[in-house]
Amino acid sequence: MKLPGTGRTSPQGDAGSAAPGDEHGPLIATVGEWAAQDIDPETRAEARRLIAAARDGQADALAELEDAFGGRLAFGTAGLRGRLGAGPRRMNRMVVSQTSAGFAAYLLERSARNDADDPPSIVIGYDGRVNSDVFARDAAEVMAGAGVRVFLLPEAGPTPLTAFAVRHLGVSAGVMITASHNPPRDNGYKVYLGDADAGSQIVSPADIEIAAHIDRLAATPVSGIPRSTDYTVLGPGLTSAYVSETAAAVLAGLPQRPDAPGSVIGAGTPLTVVYTAMHGVGSDIARRVFGAVGLPRVVPVAQQDRPDGAFPTVSFPNPEEPGALDLAYRVARDVDADLVVAHDPDADRLAIALPHPEERSGFRRLTGNELGLLLGWRAAERARAAAALTGSQPSGSLACTIVSSPALSAVARDYGLDYAETLSGFKWVSRVPRLIFGFEEALGYLTHPDIVRDKDGISASADAIAMVRELVSENRTVWDLLDEASERFGHFASAQVTLRLESMPAASALAARVRRDPPRELGGVKVAKTRDLLAPNAAEVPADVLRYDLEDGSRVMIRPSGTEPKLKVYLDTFGDEGSARKRRKAAERALRTLETAVRQYLEELQPEASGA
């Protein structure tokens, strides 16, 4: 019989075959076949250890085998992401090789379909996670063996650099080996397309077509996949180009002193900035960009400044997670910092925190929605300033995901700009026509779409540092600026409610129950409009998302998580009467009322669901 993911037929008497009467015989045989052709000694030995432990009756070993070999790691619009380990449902050299062979086949097929004269080309980058460099070399060898022209980055670097390289080099596609801010034992395979896709992440139907090629090639022996070392390792010029182009874009958009044209507001103002790379790959290139822009030198969090795939000082390397910034706050207190800047390990996300008297740590981190509002406002100001030079009206689009705060829509209206809400994911944000700024509430910002077509924590952090420096030069704070935004655009308050359930199907079932029995009112406020993104023509791509707009301007978004057994609810309220303080209090009071009502509504639909 053929064994899933190996392409081989189970022989009699193989070391991994089952003993007569063994009820787990087919599984053991599958694992043995995988181990027999595994090109990585470490995962090969892991598979064989698990076989031995399972035969000894160790339930945890059997459970691990059933999970790791009970299917295949699904390829989707985010590529691949999963735990390191042996088996087709883990990230390992076998899966990366098969995936690369399938992706190469897709690129060759697309090239032939388009009657291209030259073979397709690809740039491959990788971060500092465990095995990222190994997986990148495997991908390069397999792609080159298939006849794709390959450019491999010379060292570990941030995701924005690979996204930049796709456009800068004019290649057909890109691959970034990263799991971004996932737990330490994860890794992933992120895919971009060039040409007409302009360096954006893949979307359907490309993901479906690539997955079909991967499935086809996964049914053949890995030993039969051609490999070649005939690929190009790039030099330092790519990083230098990213630094110079990013710095030039940031500098061109910085506001100038009205009394001294050509002089940037805040230039020369002292500013103490603490920076953490979160054990990732952003530090060197970020500091080069900061220097090229003329921003202050940062004080690094030394323990987190160099790449380390073990992430020894954080349990979860994500700036959003509680406790992730504790070490940075400690350094910031020691040096009396004006600002804390934090990247996630592949530097595509950004968090900033500033001194705040009400916080025990002494610092408060801005939410993704707050920073998205401020950076979007700056983008609108840049558009207005550029238009003023030609005597025209500001043009372009501001965009965010549907689960992000709608505050950006108020900015767009104020400046006469277009506004778009996309499905979750930067693969959609980056494709908005005439985009000048985009963000998602999960700390992702695209401040200069002409340079990179994906979220970029490095360019965003340069703009954020410049913004804080301008405020300090005017004896103001970010908190003052947020108050000014509330007075100009209205105050938007946001929160999330997460219901943890026993399984992903249970989360989808609860969403279906909401769809069948939708709320008519929440907290005494009537639902004015309902939108179901699974309905025909409701969205460009159908999505399991429900939106409820209330009569008082509040909004509720409900969707099951695509990766965990959770139902996620995004709440937004609005206040536009009185001072900034009154608007904030009114919006936050409405938010608390709405959260209570939503929890009660969901508990009535699913009494056993537990809130989080």
Provide the annotated active-site residues.
180
Q: Encoding tokens for residue 171?
A: 């290649």
Element (H, E) at 596: helix 580-605
Amino acid at 333: R
Which DSSP state fits 433? T
Please give the Cα distance from 173 to 392 (Å, whole number): 37
Q: Which of 151, 195, 144, 197 is nearest to 170 (CA)?
A: 195
* Contacts within 8 Å (CB) and 24+ apart, 466-471: 466/250, 466/254, 466/264, 466/266, 466/293, 466/295, 467/374, 467/375, 467/378, 468/271, 468/338, 468/339, 468/352, 468/354, 469/266, 469/269, 469/271, 469/295, 469/296, 470/255, 470/265, 470/266, 471/266
Q: Encoding tokens for residue 516?
A: 């069948």
Helical axes 25-37 vs 41-55, angle rounded to 10°: 160
3-class state of residue 152 by DSSP: strand
Categorise residue 490: left if φ over 0, alpha if ψ from -120 to 50, beta otherwise: left
Question: How many whole angstroms from its chain centre is CA 59?
Answer: 35
Strand partners, 369: none
Amino acid at 395: S
Q: Encoding tokens for residue 567?
A: 């139902």
- Separation in Å, CA 517 to CA 188, 453, 508, 549, 551: 38, 40, 14, 16, 19
| Count of other CB atoms within 10 angstroms of residue 433 | 9
- Sheet with 418-422: list strands edge to edge: 418-422, 397-401, 435-440, 444-446
532-550 CB burial, b ≥16 within 10 A, e <16? bbeeeeebeeebbbbbbbb
Categorise residue 88: left if φ over 0, alpha if ψ from -120 to 50, beta otherwise: alpha
209-246 CB burial, b ≥16 within 10 A, e <16? bbbebbeebbeeebeebebeeebeebeeebbebbbebb
3-class state of residue 415 by DSSP: helix
3-class state of residue 251 by DSSP: helix
**CB 85, CB 130: distance < 8 Å:** no
